[in-house]
Each structure stands twice: as C-alpha cells, then as structure tokens.
C-alpha cells in the first residue's frame, strides 16, 4: 500500500500538486490499522545460492559436455559478478531486434580473459540500475577453486568456436542454439539442487545475486 501511495505522491509532485496530505498522521494511523486487521502479507522465502551450495551444485556438472559447460560458466559468472538472472538470459523474441541485441544483452564479445587467466572482464551493456544503457565493465578475479568463473569461461569459449562473436553469450544446445531463458536457468538450478541433495528449497531467479551478497 505504501508503494502505491508513494507512486501517487510522485505523480502529484511531477504535476506540481501540493502533497502535504501524505504527511498527515491520520494517514499513517489508517495504514497501521489496516495492517492490524489484515496482518502482514505473505512473503516468499528465497533460498540464497551461497558459495557452499554453489560448489555442491557444480559438482554435478563435472562431465563437460556442452550443456554442462554452459551452465558451469553461467552459474560461476552470475555468482562472482553479482548478476541478476535477467542480465545473462534472454527470450526468443529478444533475438528479433537484430544488431541492437548487443545494446541490451550479453554477447560473446562481452567477455575478455585477461592477465593470462588471472582475471576476466565482463562488459555489461545494460542493467536494472542502468536504464540509459551506458554500460559498465566488471572485473572478476580468478579465485583458483572449483567456483572460479575464469577457467569455466575459458572452457566454454573453447567449446563454442562454432558461433560468431556477436552471438548471445549463452545458448541452449550446441547446434540448436535455443535462447538461454531465465525459466531454463531456474529449472536447471532447481533440478541440480535436488540432485545434489539440497532439497527443493525456494530456488529462484534471485538465488544467485542473493547468495553472492550473503
């Protein structure tokens, strides 16, 4: 409710309308009474993909076929780069925008291995906090363990020489090259978590960024 009121207040400010009523103590008491009558809204729990969990899940991807190589590179990159799922996935309809795709989504050109494998650079063309698509370069140091994104990305790029550099960074299937959707990523995360013995949990698209922050 407070979010809706904040939106109305913002709209009124844009129109130059007086907004003193939003500071009226009666409004706050009304909101408090509504909360007492209806209780707190149900909040979904979100299982963070912490480093120990990530290592367990990656242990299920040791067979380096193309699909597992892609997932290992994507999962480690998302964790080390604090990425939102929407920043490294895309829909089939996104491919229809042609050359403008690179202004919104990651392509193979977005990744550069530097310092003889001691770190990598990721050029993020846009994000939730970058609405004008100025872009930002994220430097990710090699951690030299099983969760390190640098060797995972090197393995992926070495197995992905059949696609041009302007292609989306990730895809599903070496030759089918289906869109790497957020639904696919979440489904694979949930399936791997169950197979690793981590249970169903509440694994979702927030798990990578939430886990990295944790």
Q: What is the tens place of the pLDDT at every residue in 70-119? A: 999 999 999 999 998 999 999 999 999 999 999 999 999 999 999 999 99
Q: What is the pLDDT of residues 6-58, one digit of tens each?
A: 778 787 777 788 877 778 888 888 878 877 777 666 556 677 888 898 999 99
Tokens representing 210 are: 């939430």
Distance between CA atoms of residues 78 and 74, nearest Å: 6
Domains of the chain: 51-213 (1.10.443.10)
3-state secondary structure of 79: helix
User: Which residues, other chains included, contact 160 with Cβ-Cβ below 8 Å and sequence gap of 6+?
Assistant: 66, 108, 174
Distance between CA atoms of residues 111 and 89, nearest Å: 15
Neighbouring C-beta atoms of residue 117, cutoff 10 Å:
14
User: Which residues, other chains included, contact 143 with Cβ-Cβ below 8 Å and sequence gap of 6+?
Assistant: 80
Global pTM value: 0.77
Q: Give the per-residue pLDDT at 126.
A: 86
Q: Give the per-residue pLDDT at 40.
A: 64
Query: Who wins on pLDDT, 182 or 63?
Result: 182
The answer to whether the CB of 106 falls within 8 A of the CB of 88 is yes
Length in residues, the chain: 214
Q: Cα–Cα distances in Å, from 60 out to 123, 127, 130, 160, 206?
A: 29, 30, 35, 21, 21
The answer to whether the CB of 46 falls within 8 A of the CB of 206 is yes
């Amino acid at each position: 409710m407070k979010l809706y009121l904040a939106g109305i207040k913002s709209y009124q400010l844009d129109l130059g309308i007086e907004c003193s009523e939003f500071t009226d103590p009666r409004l706050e008491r009304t909101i408090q009474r509504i909360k007492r009558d209806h209780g707190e809204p149900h909040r979904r729990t979100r299982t963070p993909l912490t480093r120990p969990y990530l290592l367990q899940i990656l242990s299920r991807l040791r067979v380096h076929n193309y699909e597992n190589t892609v997932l290992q590179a994507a999962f480690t990159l998302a964790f080390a780069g604090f990425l939102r799922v929407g920043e490294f996935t895309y829909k089939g309809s996104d491919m229809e925008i042609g050359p403008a795709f690179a202004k919104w989504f990651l392509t193979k050109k977005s990744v550069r291995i530097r310092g003889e494998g001691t770190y990598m650079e990721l050029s993020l063309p846009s994000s939730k906090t970058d609405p004008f698509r100025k872009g930002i370069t994220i430097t990710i140091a090699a951690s030299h363990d099983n969760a390190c994104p640098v060797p995972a990305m090197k393995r992926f790029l070495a197995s992905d020489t059949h696609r041009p550099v302007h292609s989306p960074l990730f895809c599903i299937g070496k030759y089918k090259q289906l869109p790497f959707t957020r639904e696919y990523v979440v489904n694979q995360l949930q399936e791997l978590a169950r197979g690793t013995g981590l249970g169903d949990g509440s694994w979702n698209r927030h798990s990578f960024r939430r886990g990295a922050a944790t």
